[in-house]
Chain A
Amino acid sequence: MHLSLEDLIAVRDGEARADSARHAASCPECIAELSRLRSLREALAALPDEPPSRDLWPVVKARATAERQHRIWIRVGWVAAGLAAVFTLLIGVRGAIEAYVEAKVARQAQALIAESQRLEQELHASERQGRVMSGRTAGTVVQLEDRIAYLDSRLSRAEGERFPSQEILGLWQERVRLLDALVSVEATGTTYVGL
């Protein structure tokens, strides 16, 4: 019983089982077949290399350059897209922050307007009582009323000219402070209110 071709190749390659190797060492036909297998391997390995019929380096170089440029453009595209996204995000965040601040200022302004209206009602109630005041107190009242009138003119101009909200808020805060002082003067006859 001789070895199969697969077993003979395994013997040739040093990968055969021990019994196959023993048989191949003593069987003249298998030895001859092994010799033929080795010769064929040598014949195949001796086949000469053959260069391509045309120079392909310029083609490879051109394709590599084109690939590199393509990759650069893709990278530039991604960077541009990233920058656009960041810019959009910044605008969005900025818009959101501005909207939040605006809303907060508006709430504060509404509170100040309400306080201002309450103080004016209190002032009118005090005036209806027709309290007598000294000349110096009357001077203080006039001074306060002048300043309130000036503030009112600034407020109407600010709203017409779209002043920044913080500035309008400051004017309303000042108006409330002056009204509060005026109410105090009217009520107590104070002549000095630290203006």
Chain B
Amino acid sequence: MTAVTPTSFAVPVDEITVARARAGDEAALEALFRSFEAPVYSLARRLTRSTHDAEDVLQETFLEVVRSIHRFRGDGSLAGWIRKVAVSKALMKLRRRRGSAFEETLPEDLSDDDLALGPYGPATSAAERVDLETALGRLSDVARVVIWLHDVEGYSHDEIAAMAGKTASFSKSQLARAHARLRELLAPGVREEPCT
């Protein structure tokens, strides 16, 4: 897979802080929390679409960090570990909320007036960002999770399949469905199937 733009989890954390946190130093643990609270909260909110659930995920993630950082051996990325914990907690939240693995059905269609971003491009203005956020919110849980984890966080289809308890093929098809749906929501009038 080609490299994607580094996500907000690419937070510089010095080794001394990590070592102190591993030893249970409260100030170091708080420093880690301050470094990662926004990325973890944003990721959780985008996956769960709920500020309440996102706050829970943030708490659960850092409770796990406090509980287990002494076992973190440092041979991987701390940010990668924290992100993985956050994704796992968010997926658990979605499963509990839905009472099953993932909701596979797409939500109701939007009217043409709901969203109008026009052709894709970086969301530079606040209005465009709101539209993109709104469009993400109209995706099914599974489509939103797959497109965010794959296109933004850089997880492979195999990794997503393992986390979601599905197959890599399922992840690929959900990603394609998510893109088709976003195109429909963000650029009404553009044909749904690009190539026939």
When distances are taken between beta carbons in the complex, the residues of chain A under 8 Å from B136 are 44
**Given A9-B175, A64-B63: A47 and B123 interface contact (C-beta under 8 Å):** yes
Contact status A56-B55, CB under 8 Å: yes
Contact status B4-A41, CB under 8 Å: yes
Q: How far is the CB of B35 from chain A (nearest CB, A)?
A: 12
Contact status A29-B195, CB under 8 Å: yes
Q: Does A159 contact B (CB under 8 A)?
A: no
- Using an 8 Å CB-CB cutoff, how does the interface string of A1-32 with B read, 1 for contact, 0 for none? 11111101110111100000000000101100
Q: How far is the CB of B17 from chain A (nearest CB, A)?
A: 15
When distances are taken between beta carbons in the complex, the residues of chain A under 8 Å from B33 are 57, 60
Contact status B62-A60, CB under 8 Å: yes
Number of A-B residue pairs at CB separation under 8 A? 135
**Given A44-B148, A51-B41: A8 and B121 interface contact (C-beta under 8 Å):** no
- The distance in angstroms between the C-alpha atoms of A60 and B59, with both chains bound, is 6
Q: How far is the CB of B130 from chain A (nearest CB, A)?
A: 10
**Given A44-B132, A57-B34: A5 and B194 interface contact (C-beta under 8 Å):** yes
- The distance in angstroms between the C-alpha atoms of A30 and B195, with both chains bound, is 7
By secondary structure, the A interface counts as helix
Q: Does A67 contact B (CB under 8 A)?
A: yes
Q: How far is the CB of A91 from chain B (nearest CB, A)?
A: 39
Within 8 A of A (CB), among B1-55: 1-2, 4-5, 7-8, 26, 30, 33-34, 37-39, 41-42, 45-46, 51, 54-55
Contact status A49-B39, CB under 8 Å: yes
- The distance in angstroms between the C-alpha atoms of A97 and B35, with both chains bound, is 64
- Interface locus among B85-93, B95-103, B159-167, B176-184: B176-184
- Using an 8 Å CB-CB cutoff, how does the interface string of A115-155 with B read, 1 for contact, 0 for none? 00000000000000000000000000000000000000000
Point out residues on B near A: beta carbons under 8 Å.
Answer: 1-2, 4-5, 7-8, 26, 30, 33-34, 37-39, 41-42, 45-46, 51, 54-55, 58-59, 62-63, 66-67, 119-123, 128-129, 132-133, 136, 147-148, 151-152, 172-173, 175-176, 179-180, 182-183, 186, 193-196
Point out residues on A near B: beta carbons under 8 Å.
Answer: 1-6, 8-10, 12-15, 27, 29-30, 33, 36-37, 39-54, 56-57, 59-61, 63-64, 67
